[in-house]
Structure 1
Amino acid sequence: MNFEIPTGLTDLLQDFTVAVLKERPPNLKQFAADYFAKLNEQNNEEEDDDKPRGVRFGGSPNPEPMQTEDDEDSDEPMEPPTRGFTRRQSVSAERYDPADDEDLDEKVVYPKTDEQRQRLNEAVKHILLFRSLEPEQMQEVLDAMFEKKVLPDEHVIDQGDDGDNFYVIDSGKYDIFVNGNLVGNYDTNGSFGELALMYNMPRAATIVATTEGTLWAMDRQTFRRIVLKTAFNKRKMYEQLIEGVPVLKALEIYERQNVADALFSKTFEEGSCIIKQGDDADCMYFIEDGECRVTVTNKADPSGEEVEVKRYNKGGYFGELALVTHKPRAASVYAVGRVKVAVLDVQAFERLLGPCMEIMKRNIDEYEEQLVQVFGSKANVHDLR
């Protein structure tokens, strides 16, 4: 059975989660009851407002979380929690939808010296937003960023302003203020400013340089074209790939979307060993493009010769059986020509593919039957592992 997620539910739960994380209430159930009662009361009082998304603590829009090398899940800091409920400002309700954006094709290039490019490479190395980009897209990111020098006491962004650029820190120290209060700082690394660009929000914090420093900046349009639209298109491609995998038909639509979000691409050249028989299992693979061949070595055979038992083409998948059985790889897989695969690591596999486990376990018997046909006996099959 497929369930359609009601409009606004995701935003509502996101707002509630933020409130819980900020307040850390000792009694979660009571807090939830008070939260939604207050939200309902506010909605009734302000019926002329357009679709309020929820409530926030304090008087500013939802701040952008901080992102540093040590904490990759955040960008600009959350404001200090305050008691009481205040309506979120309506200016921040609109989100960017890559599907509606058709005019972001013009590439931007800022020339750089070799020294500048090397520094930029180091600065963006640990930025979570860029990790899903292909090498060509990462090259576009480096081309599109421009250097900005800052002086002590210079305001890089001001709370309440419109978002213009996304920033990556190359050097320098920076203080973070929300509603005039110092809430954190950056020291020579990190990034900030993306959520204002992603959600059409005003800046949620003020960033002030406390030393001389250097930032790398990317303008709003370029950020959306490269980072957001690329992620959107990749997710659509992965969803189509997953829909073609029979074993994943047991998943609901939203579960397949979660799997798509967890995938990342990897490319192997002709003859490369993708997985090796006997190795520990750490991920499974979906073939985006190309062909792979599967071989096994019978340990009882003194020659140690590898025998090809199967081939996979675009839309095929492999590597899941060792994750299901928690045993070493039972076969090796090699690239035939250049192969591009989508990779799902073991943590995401165990978290997301629970509904498919029984089907995958049944596939183990089919796999062993194939090996029996090659090696002639069940005993030899078990010797392979």
Structure 2
Amino acid sequence: MGCGIKTMGIKGEYPEEVSVNQEKNNNEDSKSTPFLSSDQARKHLKRKAAVIDSRLEAQESLDAPTATITNKIKSETDANMINKSLSRHFIFNSLTDEQRDLVIDQMKHYSLGSNSIIFEENQSGNNFFVIISGKLEVLIKGKRVNILKPGDSFGELALLHDTPRTATIKTIEKSTLWGLDRRTFRNAIEALNAMNYNENKHFINSIPLFQILTMPQKEALVGSLTSIKFSAGQRIVNEGDPGDLFYIIKDGTVSCVAHGREIRRMAKGDYFGEQALLYNSPRTATISAIDDVRCAAIWRENLTKALGSHLQQIIYRNSQRMALDKSSVLCRLIKSQADSLIANMKIQSFEAGTIVIAAGTPYGEYLWIVVKGTVIKETNREIFSEVFCCIGDKEIVNNENNGTFDENLIAGDNVDIAMISKTEFEACIGGQYSQVTSNNEALKVLKQIQLLRSLSFEKMNSLLRALKIEQYIDRQVIVQQNNPGDSLFIIKKGKVEVFKDNLKIRAITKHDYFGERSVLFDDFRSATVIANGMVSCWVISKADFLEIIDDQIRVQLLKRIELQDDTINIEDLSVVKSLGKGNFGIVTLVVHNIKRTLYALKSVDRHKINAYELQESLTLERRILQQMDHVFVMKLIKTFRDTKRIYFLLEYVRGMDLFDVLRQMGIVSEKDARFYISCLIYILEHLHEHDIVYRDLKPENIMVDDEGYPKLIDFGTAKIVIGRTYTIVGTPHYMAPELITGKGYGIAVDLWSLGIMLYEFLCGGVPFAEDEEEPYEIYKRILERNLVYPSWAEISPNARNLIEQFLSKDPVLRTGGSYEILKCNPWLSGMDWDKLVCKILKAPYIPQVPNLRKEADLAIKKQTSLDEFISKQEEQVSGNIRIRRGIATGWDLEF
């Protein structure tokens, strides 16, 4: 049985400093082979536990404590020796020349006498060293295993994170070394990468061609940029050659020559080759570097993969969307209706001077959107419409005879127009405009009702169709206190007053709602509602609601209601038993004394909060959990605080973690893998829509509940990211390359982890370094990315393609352009996404869980002191607590 313990900070919490500690199972088996046969699969014990917990890091370790350290100027010989040494390590192979030069420049000179210890076995690591002179010995358990000489290097993993040293290093004779500590290395690389990222982003934002793109699309562009250098005199493009690259000049000057004549020169910030991105047209000029030139370049093919379609199509779609948003009538369409319109509008091109709309064309028969150029009146050449504008938008929504165009409208220049007929327009939006937009208002309110948030789009539309409009006159009683409730009301127009025991308690108005619980429960009305003036309401009856919402969905809604009760006080809870103890958090199973609902209560001792400076991390965790409202994500009910602790009251997830489920299932069929991957795609889409990167997606952090559906837990490594972040966080086997190298990363690292899991489902082990436990070797194998499938595994081509898409080294290629496009991937075809989110589909495996009702009833009778129980648990995990100066105050007010 599981309970979502990991979510509550049992491991891997708040790693915003960098530290890695490899955890091993006490009953660790021998190393598994790289590929398990189908009958051997998943027989190994759980060992890929979370490996990062920065709060366990002690005071910064001091390597070479007896050394004399100086900022000595490096000779050319020293610099070459360091550079040669760096080239032997994968950590430095991904660095640019500029970054490598910076690393060499930052290294300090260490001078030591003979028999001096550099660091000791199992000591926390902090520095990387290159030997310049002398000899050093490598000792493991006191026995010499190697001798290091000038040019050798050691300790490179310490630059990534704090991991225990695997050997003792001592000088045999007087020696000198160049050393670099982790903080200096990470800060230097992060600063350069951040500067390069911000520079690229600035260039993208400054180019008119890209102004129409959305922020996610611009991020994809930034991620697709590649740095290219050209020497003075080198040709960059040749006139007449096919165009497939777009260039932005970052440094240097270029000459543009057409038909043998220089037409202009371009320098930093200028760009060329935009036609290559739009049309793949031949080069119209030869461009050569006048001096050394550095460019950022985008390949047309890569950009298409990143955005999901050609740039021209993206620009047209974005232009159509902007025009719909600008229209005073079409802005009332919801996203799905606008998307359908955009997808079904046809693009037509017109040369300058040709007729776009002929005189006599009836108003209201078509909608036109200008996506390129200007449309002018033929008689006086005045501009009639321009890009991002609609023509005929007000007329197409009007069912009356609107007349005709009285003169020709022509193309003022080369014009592209998106157009659609009235019949197609109404088919796309789902009916007549007036009825559709009226329902859209109701839909927005329905989505705000917590009770209904988890319903699928299909069920929401069914509810919309069941809505009836009822009119009430001034002072008419709409519902009467203590009468049975049988309808949900949404105010369409007007204002109502709410009375309880004949006392007015509030007034509510347009788009407010009441009576939502009456459609699920046999409740009596708790108040009287009276119209204040003329009132119009959308009404859905209990009978209609239950006809649409079947019993299975109704059960799900009732469970969600249980998780939305924020009136609970900590005094309402009784201790059932301990669920787990971590280095910082204690997790207790508790039961509500009245409702008898089970919850998981995570508590964090204030002494540890202050000692390890967890204030910001706890606040972030609360903020993230508050944003999570998804059926596949463990829900935060409420937080509490007292003088001793901070508390998180969380949904109690009964089941097994996915790792243990996989061991029970053995090799997972593609059908079952599709079920789990689809659920995880839903989860990641929800997180990423909120700019949350999870950073430790793996089977151990996913619970399979008592219905067989996955639920994400353990938000200790999650972070809200706008743009990029640089912290190394996670479990090595599941880490994306860009996370390891420190180049900066975003939400796409989670999709890499999803690819690792898909491979693991189908092949019985992770694809990179399944046989390794040392982080250094794991990272090396990931960066090599030699993806091999076991010979016995029967994996379809579509599954392989999706695995390789997720495991692309280019992060922007992992969704294929968007989550909408990802959900249409051939391997995922046939998945009923609405039934999945409503938990209607049959799950592959249902965990057997014990009934805890007797334990809960006993706990309510026993009434064990929660404070005393938690205090005893804390004593069992207490350790040396560092005392820090300047304890933060006021940070916990929101708890």
- TM-score w.r.t. the length of structure 2 is 0.24
